[in-house]
């Protein structure tokens, strides 16, 4: 795997972090600009998640049929154009429509890019590398949060969003000289028109069961992760009466710990196993969240958030590896995309549910306790999923 491949996929993951963290951190600014209620604000994330679900599944099929690289290129072009269009609109309805398609492109680029990398890396260090790449989401979130603290109060949220579009242009330039993994090229010739077919997954009992388990696991993980990212900044400002800039520093520190947590999860999972690390991270998250809600004060919340950040994003670092090893090459991209993106149903519902809870009792505490439950269930489900069933390099 060359440096350009690594950089391109790293940027793909970072862009999602830039995009979603800008929306969450600047949610109060965006809500004020469009005159939104808390439920309508949550709908922005739900619509974005619906786009990610559709784009991820469609591009998973496309990646198995036509190539991982071509998928990443087409999806990157889509979200780059849509991001540029989103900064021009003053209509909430049009903004949501554009958000749907830009999110579809981001998810599609993830579907092609992560499988592209997984088929280049040996099993012994696959999750270490993919953990680093998945940590790009936190890097993007960290950078966007700090920039939002400085730029958004003066110039608004749009300049930060354009940063994601600039990254998209870099990806399009770099991918012109990349090639498909040898494993995919060989298997594509054997599978022919059947590559990427849902029938291949449904015909294999192991694949069917893996898909169902991953859909369940992913749904609870996404509900917890995106519910947290959506409402944590708003919770910080409302519960602790923080100024916008002060809040961004707290959230940036949290994202920095998410990156470290993902890195550690990647390294540890290659040494002691994907399942043990996933389960431990989920249970620790479920334990820390009630502490955040019940014991955090303006004086200690920063320290508690650092510990929280270390764990709640860690399972996301393992998704690419763990899921891709659950399906054979000829349907790996589609199987991984279905496993990951059908879980976005949870991410689509969670922000709206938490927003509705907050609107009903004027507090986000109950919503975050619900998120703790999501992580607990996710950790339990993963115990029933076997590791390393198929080698992405074709040596199983």
Average pLDDT rounded to a whole number, residues 214-235: 88
Binned at pLDDT 50, 70 and 90, residue 395 comes out as very low
- Distance set, CA 380 to CA 169, 255, 335, 337 (Å): 41, 25, 21, 22
Average pLDDT rounded to a whole number, residues 81-107: 92
Q: For residues 130 and 78, is the Cβ–Cβ distance under 8 A?
A: no
CA–CA gap between residue 52 and residue 110 (Å, rounded): 10
Q: Which two tokens stand for residue 120?
A: 């280049």
Residue 124 reports pLDDT greater than 80: no
Domain ranges of the chain: 3-173+196-384
Q: What is the pLDDT of residues 331-360, one digit of tens each?
A: 888 888 889 888 888 888 888 888 888 777
pLDDT of res. 337: 86
CA–CA gap between residue 15 and residue 334 (Å, rounded): 22
Of residues 67 and 39, which shows the higher confidence score?
Answer: 67
CA–CA gap between residue 99 and residue 86 (Å, rounded): 7
Average pLDDT rounded to a whole number, residues 235-239: 76
CA–CA gap between residue 88 and residue 35 (Å, rounded): 17
Binned at pLDDT 50, 70 and 90, residue 396 comes out as very low
The mean pLDDT value of the chain amounts to 85
CA–CA gap between residue 2 and residue 8 (Å, rounded): 10
Residue 390 reports pLDDT greater than 90: no
What topology is assigned to 3-173+196-384 in CATH? Growth Hormone; Chain: A; (1.20.1250)
pLDDT of res. 194: 55
Q: What is the pLDDT of residues 146-169, one digit of tens each?
A: 888 888 888 888 888 888 899 999
Helices (H), the chain: 3-25, 27-34, 38-66, 68-86, 92-118, 126-134, 136-155, 158-174, 182-191, 198-203, 205-240, 244-272, 274-295, 301-312, 314-324, 332-341, 344-361, 365-381
Rounded to the nearest angstrom, the gap between the alpha carbon of residue 219 and the centroid of all alpha carbons in its chain is: 12
Answer left, alpha or beta for residue 156, where phi above 0 means left and psi between -120 and 50 means alpha. left
């Amino acid at each position: 795997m060359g440096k350009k491949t690594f950089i391109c996929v790293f940027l793909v993951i970072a862009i999602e972090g830039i995009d979603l963290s800008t929306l969450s951190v600047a949610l109060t600014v965006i809500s004020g600009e469009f005159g939104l209620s808390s439920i309508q604000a949550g709908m922005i994330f739900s619509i974005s998640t619906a786009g990610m679900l559709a784009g991820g599944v469609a591009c998973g099929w496309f990646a198995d049929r036509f190539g991982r690289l071509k998928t990443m290129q087409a999806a990157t072009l889509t979200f780059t154009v849509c991001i540029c269009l989103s900064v021009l609109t003053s209509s909430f309805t049009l903004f949501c429509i554009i958000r749907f398609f830009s999110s579809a492109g981001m998810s599609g680029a993830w579907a092609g890019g992560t499988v592209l990398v997984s088929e280049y890396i040996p099993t012994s260090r696959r999750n270490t590398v993919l953990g680093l790449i998945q940590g790009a989401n936190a890097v993007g979130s960290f950078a966007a949060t700090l920039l939002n603290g400085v730029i958004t109060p003066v110039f608004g949220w749009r300049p930060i969003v354009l940063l994601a579009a600039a990254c998209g242009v870099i990806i399009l330039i770099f991918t012109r000289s990349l090639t498909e993994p040898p494993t995919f090229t060989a298997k594509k010739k054997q599978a022919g028109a059947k590559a990427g077919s849902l029938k291949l997954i449904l015909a294999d009992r192991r694949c069917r069961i893996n898909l169902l388990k991953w859909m369940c696991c992913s749904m609870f993980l996404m509900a917890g992760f995106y519910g947290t990212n959506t409402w944590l900044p708003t919770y910080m400002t409302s519960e602790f009466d923080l100024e916008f800039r002060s809040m961004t520093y707290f959230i940036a520190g949290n994202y920095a710990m998410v990156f470290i947590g993902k890195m550690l999860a990647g390294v540890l999972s290659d040494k002691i196993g994907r399942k043990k690390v996933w389960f431990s991270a989920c249970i620790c998250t479920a334990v820390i969240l009630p502490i955040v809600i019940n014991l955090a004060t303006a004086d200690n919340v920063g320290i508690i958030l650092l510990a929280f950040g270390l764990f709640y994003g860690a399972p996301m670092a393992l998704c690419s590896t763990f899921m891709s090893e659950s399906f054979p090459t000829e349907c790996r991209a589609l199987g991984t995309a279905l496993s990951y993106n059908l879980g976005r149903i949870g991410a689509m519902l969670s922000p709206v549910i938490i927003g509705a809870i907050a609107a009903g009792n004027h507090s986000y505490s109950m919503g975050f306790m619900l998120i703790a439950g999501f992580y607990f269930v996710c950790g339990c489900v993963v115990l029933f999923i076997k590791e390393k069933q198929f080698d992405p390099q074709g040596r199983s």
